[in-house]
Amino acid sequence: MTRRAPLTLDDRPVPLEWKSALMLTVLTVAGLGMFAWPLFVAAPSPSGLGDASPFIFVALLPLLIFLVLAQISEKGIDAKALAILGVLSAINAALRPLGAGTGGIETVFFLLILAGRVFGPGFGFVLGCTSMFASALLTAGVGPWMPFQMLASAWIGMGAGFLPNRLFGRWVRGKAEVALLVVYGIVVAYLFGAIMNLWFWPFVTGPSMGADAQLAYIPGGPLLENLTRFAWFTLITSTAVWDTGRAVANTVLIVLVGAPVLAAFRRTVRRAVFAPDIEFVQP
Amino acid sequence: MTSVVKRFFMPRSLHPGAWWGWAIGCAVVASRTVNPILLGLLIAICCVTVQVRRTSAPWAMAFRMYLYLACFIIVLRVGFRVLFSAAGPTVVLRLPVVTIPGLPSVRLLGPVSAEALVGAGGSALQLAAMVVAVGAANALANPKRLLAAVPGALYEWGAVVVIAISVFPQLAESLVRVGRARQLRAETGKGAHLIRNVAMPVLSDALDRSLILAGAMDSRGYGRSAPVSPATRRATSALLILGSLAVCVGAYGLLDTGVTPVWAGASMVAVGVVVAVAGLKLSGARAHRTRYRPDPMAAPEWVVLGSGILACVGMVVVSIAQPLVAYPPTQPLGVPPVSVGALLAVLVLLVPAALAPSPQRWPSGSVTVTADHAPDRQPLTLRGAPR
């Protein structure tokens, strides 16, 4: 039996051409800055803006995400890709409340990882955005945290799309693929927890707490000092329960249903045939 | 004259953008003060407005969740303060100091002072007021109409979210069908079997249906874009890329206040936003929209939006002119000062509760019928139907 070669980038439902890739890079750098600003920013000056910068980011980040999405859809997107994105966003939105509140077991990410793997980085990026947005509208609620969750899960979906198809000269399929995705799932579970904590940290502990609070954020403090404080904050408050719960959930779900879900996605790709239109030419 | 007034107050649901604008105004007002009196007033105004102007739609009923979340934020923030460090002059509670073995520099608990509690409470109330404001917008604005108002540049992604929201109830129905099929086959598997025999069929069903839906969408012209010249396309991309770069550089300038002046960063952000919005506008030319069921921006919408903008401007002025009112000191303890200007800036937000037209209410004693397949349509009311 011959194994079909995996889809090339051109066949993918949400293609990323160089302009989209450029804007994604800009968004990624800016987004990292907007998550990690507490570590780099000088102490707020009394010049009127004060510590309003996190609130400015809450307004600017959605705009940047919208710009990238507008560029990605600039040439129009196939209706099949739209329909699959919509359905998968609905499933993700339905999965989200299943896990919420039960010891950090988060059920959102495994489907995002599997979909990003099969449908490609562009699709994974958009799916991360739309499923967080849809679930915010349906169940979880819209809030200032939403753009940041959207970006973080979009990165997770996009990263899954960039995982290699060939490793050491062999196709990554079957058990090797599930193993690769499990490792990726564990890594992103901890990274997601850390990065959302980093966003949340100055709000919860706050500059008003003063420098004598050992886990609080010091505005304009030295990078290493703040980094140590943050590491202890995230270790004590969430790593043991929330992040580990998320990593375990990702692992168990990918091991249990990874192979059949990947197969179902690949079957959908074959049925939908995301390829350029067929043209008939005179012989 | 009376007809103008009558038309103004005619019961209808407002443009969702008006309510979101008002709520963002509330959030900006909250971001410019930590005065507990002003923030408490702001939260009360949000609650009153929601109570008076919401419908009985499911999204309007979720407001309570936002209030719970706001309470949770206050408890969490004050709790963190007590846990990490709440020392100060007026000690109200003495807790034992806990150290983590092997890490002498981290001390938890310890004496709790009233000043620390008031300070943490003020900034927690600020965050809570923002959450309540967003919750109010969620309760007052119809999310489906908001998606209909999505700019043309994001037309495809708006369609995706609409599909997601419409497909959501179908998943439950799919689950029931798979369950019935299992009963007919007398399957009793549990645990991992449940995933293979229930979750996978539901997923495959959803994927298959999505391709059927795509066929239906294709035949009706969804996801189609109008022809755009290559020159326009290049201009669009250039505007989008330049706009996002300018916004990023400006935001960096805003943060790096030590080197660049604030106005330079702010004007860079403003230029970036203008360029980006122009790019979005140009990119929206490829999406053709229906002209049926328009959401007008009429006088009531402008009243609601205007009250939000006025309050924003007022509070920014107050926070610069009267910093002691906007950011009252926690030491020495005392009632935080308020000024007429600050109170007016917050009270302007109460205007929509009085002046916005009320949403359609259905008289009691009538039967309301909502078609399952079109839950966003106006419900059909049969008057005089038996109870």
Which candidate from B107, B165, B280 shows the least CB-CB separation from A70? B280
Q: Report the pLDDT value the prediction gives residue B297, as an integer from 0 to 100.
A: 83
Q: Report the pLDDT value the prediction gives residue A4, as an integer from 0 to 100.
A: 46
Residue A79 CA to residue B214 CA, distance in Å, equals 5
* pLDDT(B138) > 90: no
In angstroms, the separation between the Cα of residue B335 and the nearest Cα of chain A is: 19
Express each pLDDT in A107-145 by its tens digit: 778 889 999 999 989 999 999 999 888 877 766 566 677
Q: Report the pLDDT value the prediction gives residue B274, as an integer from 0 to 100.
A: 92
* pLDDT(A256) > 60: yes
Q: What is the 3-state secondary structure (H, E, C) of chain A?
A: CCCCCCCCHHHCCCCCCHHHHHHHHHHHHHHHHHHHHHHHCCCCCCCCCCCCHHHHHHHHHHHHHHHHHHHHCCCCCCHHHHHHHHHHHHHHHHHHHHHCCCCCCCCCHHHHHHHHHHHCHHHHHHHHHHHHHHHHHHHHCCCCCHHHHHHHHHHHHHHHHHCCCEECCEECCCHHHHHHHHHHHHHHHHHHHHHHHHHHHHHHCCHHHCCCCCCCCCCCCCHHHHHHHHHHHHHHHHHHHHHHHHHHHHHHHHHHHHHHHHHHHHHHHHHHCCCCCCCCCCC
- Residue ranges of A 26-45 with Cβ closer than 8 A to chain B: 26-27, 29-30, 33-34, 37, 40-42, 44-45
Q: Report the pLDDT value the prediction gives residue A46, as an integer from 0 to 100.
A: 44
Q: Where is pLDDT greater, at A125 or B216?
A: A125
- ipTM of the complex in this document: 0.78
Nearest CA in chain A to B168: A90
In angstroms, the separation between the Cα of residue B257 and the nearest Cα of chain A is: 7
Q: Where is pLDDT greater, at A240 or B37?
A: B37
Residue A123 CA to residue B156 CA, distance in Å, equals 13
Range from A144-148, A187-191, B310-314 carrying the lowest mean pLDDT: A144-148
Q: Report the pLDDT value the prediction gives residue B220, as an integer from 0 to 100.
A: 78
pLDDT band at B304 (very low <50, low <70, confident <90, very high): very high
> Mutating which of A18, A40, A82 best tests the B interface, going by the most B Cβ atoms within 10 A?
A82
Which candidate from A91, A134, A260 shows the least CB-CB separation from B171? A91
Residue A99 CA to residue A105 CA, distance in Å, equals 5
Express each pLDDT in B251-269 by its tens digit: 877 776 666 677 777 888 8
Express each pLDDT in B64-100 by its tens digit: 878 888 888 888 888 877 877 777 777 878 888 777 7
Q: Report the pLDDT value the prediction gives residue A101, as an integer from 0 to 100.
A: 42
Chain centroid offset of residue B346 CA:
19
- Please indicate whether, in this complex, the C-beta atoms of B222 and A79 are within 8 angstroms of each other: yes
A167 phi and psi, to 5 degrees?
-135, 130
- Please indicate whether, in this complex, the C-beta atoms of A86 and B161 are within 8 angstroms of each other: yes
Q: Report the pLDDT value the prediction gives residue B47, as an integer from 0 to 100.
A: 94
* pLDDT(B16) > 70: yes
Q: Where is pLDDT greater, at A19 or A282?
A: A19
In angstroms, the separation between the Cα of residue B49 and the nearest Cα of chain A is: 19
Which candidate from A19, A56, A216 shows the least CB-CB separation from B241? A19
Q: Where is pLDDT greater, at B312 or B261?
A: B312
Nearest CA among B233, B164, B289 for reference residue A20 = B233
Residue pair B353/B303 in contact (Cβ under 8 Å)? The answer is no
- Please indicate whether, in this complex, the C-beta atoms of A261 and B80 are within 8 angstroms of each other: no
Q: Which residues of B touch A36 (CB under 8 A)?
A: none
Q: How far is CA B313 from CA A184, A282, B26, B300, in A?
A: 47, 67, 11, 20
Chain centroid offset of residue B237 CA:
29
pLDDT band at A2 (very low <50, low <70, confident <90, very high): very low
Q: Report the pLDDT value the prediction gives residue A230, as an integer from 0 to 100.
A: 78
- Please indicate whether, in this complex, the C-beta atoms of B204 and A264 are within 8 angstroms of each other: yes
Q: Is A241 within 8 Å of chain B by CB?
A: no
Rounded to a whole number of angstroms, the distance between the first and last alpha carbons of chain A is: 33
Residue pair A116/A159 in contact (Cβ under 8 Å)? The answer is yes
Q: How far is CA B78 from CA A201, B86, B105, B189, B326, in A?
A: 14, 9, 22, 48, 20
* pLDDT(B178) > 80: yes
Which candidate from B208, B257, B283 shows the least CB-CB separation from A45? B257
